[in-house]
Amino acid sequence: MATNRLVGRFAGYLESRKNITGSVCGLLGLVLTFTGVAGPYWPVVVLGLYGAGALIAPPERPALPDFPDPSAQLDEIRADFTKLGDYLADVDLPPATATRLRVLTDLLDALLDPGWVAEILAQDPEAVHTVSRTVRQDIPEAVHAFVRTRWWHRMTPGQDPPEQHLERQLAVLTEEAHHLATTLRETEARRQESHTRYLEDRQG
């Protein structure tokens, strides 16, 4: 393992800017040697020029992290949205609450549907984060808290019905999703207006 690591580092140094720049300077030293300029001290001249070249070489730039592109992120969110749908299908909700939840999930489904809408969504990292948080965190936590609280409510009635809190949470999430859709629509409208101005300006 250690040997492989050393071999990898050596191979990396051979391809590094420091080695390449130093080698070029070292070749210059050999040229000076063959022309008689370096004299009997040519090894010192060659090594010195190599070392100087290695020192002045620009530092290596580490490779950028290989993060998934927005389209790949949306594919992962779609997969999790399908899992969420399977979970919600097994939860017994009051009719009014189920209707409110369906409005929210239908809106998310429209935003995540592959096509031009999803392409616009993918261009906005904050929007992708909002949808991801809603699918992976907000809805599951809200519904799961309702399921747990409903059991306690049946054991100790008299408190606010748990569906009231769930409906309020779903109302907030639905408003947030509608705001996101409006923002994406306005972005597309501005893009259309910019193209109109471009075409008009092009004609003088």
Please tell me the total number of residues recorded for the chain in this structure. 204
pLDDT given for residue 135 in this prediction: 96
Tokens of 17: 């800017």
Quick one: pLDDT at residue 59?
A: 66
pLDDT of residue 115: 83
Quick one: pLDDT at residue 101? Answer: 95
Q: What is the 3-state secondary structure (H, E, C) of 86-147?
A: HHHHCCCCCHHHHHHHHHHHHHHHHHHCCCHHHHHHHCCHHHHHHHHHHHHHHHHHHHHHHH
pTM for the predicted model, two decimal places: 0.63
Residues of the chain with pLDDT under 50: none
pLDDT in the model for residue 191? 83
